[in-house]
């Protein structure tokens, strides 16, 4: 089987490609990635020479380029990880989010209709459900929770989800959608909370916690997300949404303190900065459906996964060191330079 993976040079997509090639040695992977600031071809170095792997540097919005790849590769499954993925960047400039996350998804689905596929799987996020109040720990997002977005990022992801369901109903495209909580693990771009705090800690730089650090996220080790996507795209029902999460809610401030502790750095590095605009308070997934229908359960405990992740960043400084010394520096200055 040929599986076309978009966004495979990013954090989750690359972990997914490694997982698939190992777990399903009989399958081929075709990766399509534009290599934006968040995409890194060096991440895929271990598989670039694998005869079961092929890489195309193409924008998912480029209809002609995408159709040519479909004609050439004839994928049976398409899984769309490609996206602009950082909430703070979406607040700074929404347009590219609308372009990639909405138009790009529609171009991919048009290609699927034109050439025929067994499955189009859309990788979505729990952020489409908006947020939950801190004083209602009994509430969780189910697949029936109404869409109620907060940021340009989550709105663009929600729009793509709605389009995917429309393509299922109108054209009969065999679509599935998964909505996952916050991921952590190797190869995450250091603009996101956990790798940013690890990198800053190691450089003895201030640790910028937004607001009071009381916002809650439901953290899942990236390989557990990859396993879930693999199950949904092969065995999940078409026209269905599956929530993915591990009941692992933590406050941002507790994550940052834990990173300080693991790296033997003083908590005095923690600096409270101006809050994110429209900042979602709490995300919490109810994963009952994927557990019941596909027998999925997370396997990595947060206490193990975070130590493994910190160890990975310690062992792979050249990977992220190069990133934080490039364009990222001007981003960091724009985002954090004047934020006290």
| Interaction site with ligand NAD (CB under 6 A) | 6-7, 9-13, 33-36, 38-39, 59-61, 81-85, 100, 104, 123, 125, 157, 180, 182-183, 189
**Contact by Cβ (8 Å): 265, 198:** no
State in angstroms the smallest separation of the CB of 11 from ligand NAD.
Answer: 3
CA distance 225 to 230: 9
Residue 23: exposure state from Cβ atoms within 10 A (0-12, 13-18, ≥19) = exposed
Pair of tokens at residue 263: 């790296």
153 tagged catalytic: yes
By beta-carbon proximity to ligand TDX, the closer residue of 67 and 210 is: 210
CA distance 234 to 226: 12
Residue 209 binding partner per list ligand NAD, ligand TDX, none, with a CB distance cut-off of 5 to 8 Å that depends on partner kind? ligand TDX
CA distance 102 to 128: 14
Residue 257 binding partner per list ligand TDX, ligand NAD, none, with a CB distance cut-off of 5 to 8 Å that depends on partner kind? none
Three state DSSP letters for 134-151? CCCCCCCECCCCCCCCCC
State in angstroms the smallest separation of the CB of 49 from ligand TDX.
Answer: 30
Of all residues in the shown chain, the one whose CB is closest to ligand NAD is 10
CA distance 265 to 104: 42
| Phi, then psi, of 33 in degrees rounded to 5 | -150, 140
Query: What are the residues binding ligand TDX (CB under 6 A)?
Result: 85-87, 125, 127, 182, 192-193, 196, 208-210, 215, 217, 252, 276
State in angstroms the smallest separation of the CB of 187 from ligand NAD.
Answer: 8
Longest C-alpha distance within the chain, in Å?
A: 57
126 tagged catalytic: yes
State in angstroms the smallest separation of the CB of 92 from ligand TDX.
Answer: 13
By beta-carbon proximity to ligand NAD, the closer residue of 13 and 75 is: 13
By beta-carbon proximity to ligand TDX, the closer residue of 237 and 329 is: 329
Cα dihedral sign, 264-308-296-39 = positive
- The CA distances from residue 197 to 189, 201, 271, in Å, are 12, 6, 11
**Catalytic pick among 20, 56, 59, 153:** 153
By beta-carbon proximity to ligand TDX, the closer residue of 61 and 259 is: 259
By beta-carbon proximity to ligand NAD, the closer residue of 154 and 200 is: 154
State in angstroms the smallest separation of the CB of 171 from ligand TDX.
Answer: 26
Residue 38 binding partner per list ligand TDX, ligand NAD, none, with a CB distance cut-off of 5 to 8 Å that depends on partner kind? ligand NAD
* Number of alpha carbons in the 13 Å side-chain half-sphere of residue 273: 16
CA distance 260 to 283: 24
User: Which candidate, 68, 131, 158, 143, places its Cα nearest to that of 276?
Assistant: 131
| Phi, then psi, of 55 in degrees rounded to 5 | -115, 135
Residue 285 binding partner per list ligand TDX, ligand NAD, none, with a CB distance cut-off of 5 to 8 Å that depends on partner kind? none
By beta-carbon proximity to ligand NAD, the closer residue of 269 and 290 is: 290
By beta-carbon proximity to ligand TDX, the closer residue of 199 and 294 is: 199
Residue 11 binding partner per list ligand NAD, ligand TDX, none, with a CB distance cut-off of 5 to 8 Å that depends on partner kind? ligand NAD
User: Which candidate, 88, 157, 83, places its Cα nearest to that of 127?
Assistant: 157
Residue 193 binding partner per list ligand TDX, ligand NAD, none, with a CB distance cut-off of 5 to 8 Å that depends on partner kind? ligand TDX
State in angstroms the smallest separation of the CB of 245 from ligand NAD.
Answer: 9
**Catalytic pick among 127, 218, 224, 280:** 127
CA distance 128 to 144: 12
List the catalytic residues. 126-127, 153
């Amino acid at each position: 089987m040929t599986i076309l993976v978009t966004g495979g040079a990013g954090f989750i997509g690359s972990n997914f490609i490694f997982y698939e090639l190992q777990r399903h040695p009989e399958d081929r992977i075709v990766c399509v990635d534009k290599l934006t600031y968040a995409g890194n071809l060096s991440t895929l170095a271990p598989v670039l020479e694998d005869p079961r792997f092929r890489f195309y540097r193409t924008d998912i919005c480029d209809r002609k380029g995408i159709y040519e790849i479909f004609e050439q590769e004839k994928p049976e499954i398409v899984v769309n990880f490609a996206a602009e993925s950082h909430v703070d960047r979406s607040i700074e400039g929404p347009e590219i989010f609308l372009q990639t996350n909405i138009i790009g998804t529609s171009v991919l689905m048009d290609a699927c209709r034109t050439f025929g596929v067994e499955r189009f799987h859309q990788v979505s996020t729990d952020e489409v459900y908006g947020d939950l109040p801190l004083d209602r720990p009994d509430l969780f997002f189910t697949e029936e929770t109404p869409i109620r977005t907060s940021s340009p990022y989550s709105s663009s992801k929600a729009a793509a989800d709605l389009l995917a369901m429309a393509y299922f109903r109108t054209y009969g495209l065999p679509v599935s959608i998964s909505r996952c909580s916050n991921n952590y693990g190797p190869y995450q771009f250091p603009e996101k909370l956990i790798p940013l705090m690890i990198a800053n800690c190691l450089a003895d730089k201030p640790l910028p916690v937004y607001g009071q650090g009381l916002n809650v996220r439901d953290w899942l080790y990236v390989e557990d997300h990859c396993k879930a996507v693999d199950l949904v795209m092969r065995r999940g029902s078409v026209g269905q949404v599956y929530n993915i999460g591990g009941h692992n809610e933590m406050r941002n401030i507790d994550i940052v303190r834990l990173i300080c502790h693991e790296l033997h750095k003083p908590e005095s590095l923690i600096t409270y900065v101006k809050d994110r605009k429209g900042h979602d308070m709490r995300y919490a997934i109810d994963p009952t459906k994927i557990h019941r229908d596909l027998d999925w359960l997370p396997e990595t405990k947060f206490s193990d996964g975070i130590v493994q992740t910190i160890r990975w960043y310690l062992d792979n400084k050249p990977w992220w060191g190069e990133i934080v010394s490039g364009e990222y520096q001007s981003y960091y200055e724009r985002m954090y330079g004047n934020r006290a």
